[in-house]
Amino acid sequence: MSARLELENVTHCYGRGEPALSDLSLTVEPGELVALLGPSGCGKTTALKVLAGLLSPSSGDVRVEGSSVMGITPEKRRTAMVFQKPLLFPHMNVAGNVGFGLRMRGSTEDSEQRISEALEQVQMEGFADRDPGELSGGQQQRVALARALVTSPKLLLLDEPFSALDANLRSEMRKLVKRLQREGDYTTVFVTHDQEEAVILADRIALLFDGELQMYDRPQAFYDHPASMEVARFFGATNFLEGRAENGSVRTRLGDLRLENPGPTGDVTLTIRPEAIRLEKGENSFAANIISATYLGTQVHYALESHGIRIRAALPPHVRLEVGEEVSVRLPAESLWALEG
Ligand code: ATP
């Protein structure tokens, strides 16, 4: 049975300085996979340690299935954790490592059967007698995953588990984790600094900067409706345009622009992603010059200029335009998003 997880106003200070985690509140629904995302030092690992019971926060509460788990030791929390490094015991073979979690909980019943099932889940059947030193990095991480899952945890916590693996292996492991998480219906918190990894894996993303939650939503919302310019920037939006919103449209130096989601009124900053920009005439269009073109294989990135404003557009490679050309640029109403101020 998967569990509902709640963090309420969790704050943690390591010393006298700024808190590593500030007033973090979020709820993870049963069976949901939430990615804790943010740049290095933003407090992701601190939050995960609080969830695992490895760190007692300065204040706040953590509840699993509605009951506070503060003061409950990590072993008693039915929480399994997978770290960046597999941390396998070198003196135990693979089966010994996977069974370790079961032994820690004093469970001997069917343990052989459960170990072999867990190894099968991570496609490592046939490796039970190997020593960890005889395994590749990816295989070791699979064993670490099996060791976590064999205990049927209520909460699965993963701390950048694939960051040491190469790109192909990382992609394979993401698929494996996603499949196992769905099959087992585990409530999962996955720490990563990789925006793409968070988008691929997560049902919802919690984005942290400097220990503070910036936005908690479905991955698509970070692209479509960023909560702030910082959030938009973190997700790769590079176009910002100041304006004044009145009567359903925004007055800007590029003309009056209509937005499908009108958003706040008064002074606003409009944001639009480079890949949402169209080179065509129509609503919200204006003339611009091409300043530079960078061919990247699957896309061409253009820098455009109009009325002294730079606009970045990412277009498919079959659209080939020359530097100096004048083009019509359209900012589709459905792709414009207004932020206050
Ligand atoms: P990374 O992605 O680099 O692992 P993170 O987002 O997981 O970073 P944390 O490890 O949670 O961030 O650290 C948050 C802040 O707390 C950082 O400023 C870090 O220097 C500080 N910090 C972490 N652990 C300790 C500690 N044991 N003592 C003092 N400060 C710490």
For 223-271, the pLDDT digits (tens) are 999 999 999 999 987 899 999 999 889 999 999 999 999 889 999 999 9
Do the strands 155-159 and 79-82 form a parallel or antiparallel pair, or are they unpaired? parallel
Compute the average pLDDT of residues 140-148. 94
Residue 193 in contact with ligand 1 by CB distance below 6 A? yes
Residue nearest to ligand 1 atom 8, measured at CA:
41
CB hemisphere CA count around 65 (13 angstroms): 8
Ligand 1 atom at minimal distance to the Cα of residue 191: 7
pLDDT in the model for residue 109: 66
Q: Are strands 155-159 and 187-192 parallel, antiparallel or unpaired?
A: parallel
* Nearest protein Cα to ligand 1, atom 1: 40
Length of the chain (residues):
341
Location of structure tokens 């569990």: 3
Summarised one tens digit per residue, pLDDT across range 47-99 is 999 999 999 999 999 999 999 999 999 888 889 999 988 899 999 999 999 99
Task: Report how far apart, in Å, the C-alpha atoms of 320 and of each of 7, 239, 274, 317 are.
Answer: 50, 21, 16, 7
Cβ–ligand 1 distance for 93 under 6 Å, the answer no
For residue 42, the ligand 1 atom closest to its alpha carbon is 6
> Which helix (H) or strand (E) segment is 48 a member of?
helix 44-52
In this structure, what token pair is assigned to residue 213?
A: 């939650």
Q: Which residues does residue 241 pair with via DSSP β-bridges, in sequence order?
A: 270
Using the mean position of ligand 1's atoms as its centre, give its distance from the Cα of residue 244 in Å.
40
Ligand 1 and 226: CB distance under 6 A: no
- 75 Cα: distance to centroid of ligand 1 (angstroms): 23
Question: Is 46 touching ligand 1 by the criterion CB < 6 Å?
Answer: yes
Q: Could you identify the atom of ligand 1 that is nearest to the CA of residue 46?
A: 11
Q: What is the pLDDT of residue 44?
A: 96
pLDDT score for 146? 94
In the sheet that 300-306 helps form, which strands lie side by side, from edge to edge?
A: 309-315, 300-306, 285-295, 326-330
β-pair partners for 207: 37, 215
* DSSP assignment string, 109-163: TTHHHHHHHHHHHTT-TT-TT--GGGS-HHHHHHHHHHHHHTT--SEEEEESTTT
